[in-house]
Amino acid sequence: MSALTFTLKYKPAQRVDLSPLVCNQLAGLSLADIGVIPLQSGKLKLRVDDLFTIEGSDTQDIVINSSTDNLDFIGKELDGGRISVNGDAGAYLAFGLKAGEIKVSGNVGLYAACEMKKGYLEVSGNAGDFLGAALPGNKMGMKGGTILIKGNVGERVGDHMRRGNILIEGNAGDYCGSRMTAGTIAVMGQTGRYLGYAMRRGTLLLWNQPTLSASFNDCGAHTLAFLPILFASFKSLNSRFADASIAFNRVQRYAGDMSEMGRGEVLVKL
């Protein structure tokens, strides 16, 4: 069976909600059935076959070709299977992802992997603000799984994050790990201002010394036994994180945010 492939015919004028095009919702449908599925775009409802050329048959392996940055909610609540996006993706990519994997070759917009529960998201380009965060007003961001971003990310990465790993090969914007409850965010590049703002627990693992707020306290230099195990868990990834030569277990440990619970930590490579 070949992958079920959606090739965008033209860039739509308005943003389009692609949430119906996930493996679990398309299972058992014919190409004709899939073609008539309505997609919300502004005030309009577009048919899938208006917007895409549809080929292939494997609903557990979906490919979206020529994707653009106004295709939102790709892979929303995906519950198994695989989605490959060739091009950019809009906002709310992998929203509430439950299982399976999503890979994007380009850049992604706001709130990628927002409130993600499990599974794997890989973005070859950059990601916007609120990666792995909670929706505004909600208290629980990402709850599990792994996000790998090969480029840079915007502000508020992992806002209200509770569990899982966010791995960033590039730089992270301001408020990285803000209001984090638990989990791990690793940043190979630079980080912005207000790192770990109001974080309660969780780990920010950094390759470069950040500018820390006064509410983070230096706990000294340490060799931590869990780091080799954490790095070993990245071995299967298609990433610089899988390279054994980048792993380390010697870190400077800062605890914070002391203006909050203060059980979080910023670990900086020594």
Partner 1 sequence: MIINGVSIDATFAEAFPMKATRAIITAQNEKWAMISAQAMTGFATSVIACGCEGAIERVLDPSETPDGRPGVAIMIFAMGGKGLAKQLETRAGQCVLTSPTSALFSGIDGGIRTPLGKNLRYFGDGFQISKQISGKRYWRIPVMDGEFLTEATTGQVDAIGGGNFLVLAESQPQALAACEAAIDEMRKIPNVIMPFPGGVVRSGSKVGSKYKTLGASTNDAFCPTLKGMTKTDLSPEIESVMEIVIDGLTKEDIDKAMRVGIQAVCDLGAKNGIKRISAGNYGGKLGPFHFHLQEIMA
**Contact residues for partner 1 (CB under 8 A)?**
144, 163, 182, 184, 201, 203, 222-226, 228-230, 232-233, 263, 265
Q: Which is nearer to partner 1, 88 or 265 (CB)?
A: 265
Task: For residue 147, count other CB atoms closer than 10 A to its CB.
Answer: 29
Note the residue count of the chain: 270
Q: Which is nearer to partner 1, 29 or 230 (CB)?
A: 230
Nearest-approach distance from CB 251 to partner 1, in angstroms = 11
Nearest-approach distance from CB 202 to partner 1, in angstroms = 9
Nearest-approach distance from CB 120 to partner 1, in angstroms = 12
**With 0-12 CB in 10 A as exposed, 13-18 as middle and 19+ as buried, what is 13?**
exposed
- Does residue 129 have a cis peptide bond before it, meaning omega lies within 30 degrees of 0? no
Q: Which is nearer to partner 1, 41 or 184 (CB)?
A: 184
Q: Are the CB atoms for 95 and 115 separated by under 8 Å?
A: yes
Residue type, 247: A
Nearest-approach distance from CB 180 to partner 1, in angstroms = 13
E-only strand ranges, the chain:
3-8, 16-17, 38-41, 44-47, 52-55, 58-67, 71-72, 79-87, 99-104, 120-123, 146-149, 165-168, 184-187, 203-206, 217-223, 250-256, 264-269
Nearest-approach distance from CB 191 to partner 1, in angstroms = 21
Q: Which is nearer to partner 1, 223 or 259 (CB)?
A: 223
Q: Which of 190, 211, 207, 213 is nearest to 241 (CA)?
A: 207
Q: Which is nearer to partner 1, 139 or 250 (CB)?
A: 250
